[in-house]
Amino acid sequence: MLRLAHISDVHLGPLPDVSYRELASKRVIGYVNWHRSRRRILTQGTVGAIVEAIRAEKPDHLAVTGDLVNLALDSELELARLWLETLGRPEDVSVVPGNHDAYVPGAFDKACRLWAPWMRGDGYDGPVGRLTFPYLRVRGQVALIGVSTARATAPFMANGFFREEQATRLARLLDEAGRKKLFRVIMIHHPPVRAAVQQHKRLFGIANFHRTVLAHGAELVLHGHSHDPTLYWIGERKKPIPVVGVAATGQGPGGRHPAAQYNLVEISGEPGAWHIGLSRHGLTDTLGAVSEIETLDLGSPRRAPAPFENAAS
């Protein structure tokens, strides 16, 4: 059995000092948004409580599905690297970038350079960049596949992109892991589900994603971005693929989204008879206490009713 913890949308704070030059871009919108609302509900104390609760569980691996920072300032990206070093060894923590990590042109490349050890596939020691996604890591009987949907967008937009080129590379990795009879987990920031978020935050390329996973196979998808603990299924009801979201790691109590949570996924069984147990753990009060919120058996969609998606819909 492998126990996989999952967090997303850390939004490490507080914001460092920002120069006028750095604000002469889309960043000015995020800066205003932070000071109007996010600074009150996205807190470092919340992140610390979630991380400590995860450490107490001693999972085998940790998946972080993006948005480690807010405005992708150079100092934020550096701070995020230091924070990643506190989470554990790079081989025990897998990261994919989110839209805030690629907030302005050039930020994505900087994040890739700084966070490369946590976003690099097994056996690869070269530089990390757009063309190295998706990457593949194998832990026991589990294949962890990291997809990037992060790209700088126009002001007031937070879309993600999954293009044909990455779909082709993902297909190869899914086939490779499938031949080895591994349990395949795809990590992605934007939810590959229609209507999961508002239009200005949606993923372009959902149909590409669905066609790829339905043709080549996958057992589980983990995502962030929505700041909500969600469960969807894509594909046919006879053999659906669960798509699991999580509340933002930096979300304090009192916002319009649930307070911070993490997912704990327990993967057991064997090819053709995998079992997936999902438990959600999160803040239950303003004192930072983290407790189990719910437990779901993802072995059968009938046990956890949720909307179904279909590549043709």
Residue 16 has pLDDT above 60, yes or no: no
Residue 92 has pLDDT above 70, yes or no: yes
Confidence (pLDDT) at 68: 97
Confidence (pLDDT) at 303: 45
Residue 129 has pLDDT above 50, yes or no: yes
| The token pair that represents 180 in the structure block | 């080895």
Residue 307 has pLDDT above 70, yes or no: no
Asked if 159 and 98 touch (Cβ cutoff 8 Å), the reply is no
Minimum mean pLDDT among 126-140, 211-225, 285-299: which range? 285-299
Confidence (pLDDT) at 284: 81
Q: List the one residue out of 257, 238, 233, 235 whose CA is nearest residue 247.
A: 257
Residues in the chain: 313
3-state secondary structure of 7: strand
Q: What is the mean pLDDT of the chain?
A: 88
Predicted confidence band of residue 219 (pLDDT cuts 50, 70, 90): very high
Asked if 293 and 269 touch (Cβ cutoff 8 Å), the reply is no
Domains of the chain: 2-309 (3.60.21.10)
Give 13: exposed, middle or buried? Use CB within 10 Å, 0-12, 13-18, 19+: buried
The secondary element (H helix, E strand) that includes residue 108 is helix 107-115
Contact partners, residue 267, CB within 8 Å, separation at least 6: 1, 2, 3, 4, 141, 142, 183, 185, 220, 274, 275, 276
Instruction: Work out the widest C-alpha separation in the chain, in whole angstroms.
Output: 57
Confidence (pLDDT) at 156: 82
Q: List the one residue out of 98, 80, 109 whose CA is nearest residue 146.
A: 98
Parallel, antiparallel, or unpaired: how do β-strands 231-234 and 308-309 relate?
A: parallel
| The token pair that represents 206 in the structure block | 């959902």
Confidence (pLDDT) at 136: 98
Residue 261 has pLDDT above 80, yes or no: yes
Section 103-127 average pLDDT:
96
| The token pair that represents 155 in the structure block | 């002001």
Residue 44 has pLDDT above 60, yes or no: no
Residue 14 has pLDDT above 90, yes or no: no
> 289: how many CB neighbours lie within 10 A of its CB?
11
Predicted confidence band of residue 301 (pLDDT cuts 50, 70, 90): very low
Side-chain half-sphere exposure of 198, counting CA atoms within 13 A: 5
Q: List the one residue out of 150, 145, 133 whose CA is nearest residue 77.
A: 150
The pTM (predicted TM-score) of the whole model is 0.90
Minimum mean pLDDT among 105-119, 132-146, 161-175, 240-254: which range? 240-254
Residue 58 has pLDDT above 80, yes or no: yes
> 231: how many CB neighbours lie within 10 A of its CB?
17
Residue 34 has pLDDT above 60, yes or no: no
Cα–Cα dist 305/194, whole Å: 17
What are the φ/ψ torsions at residue 227 (nearest 5 degrees)?
Answer: 65, 20
Confidence (pLDDT) at 256: 82
- % pLDDT > 70, the chain: 84
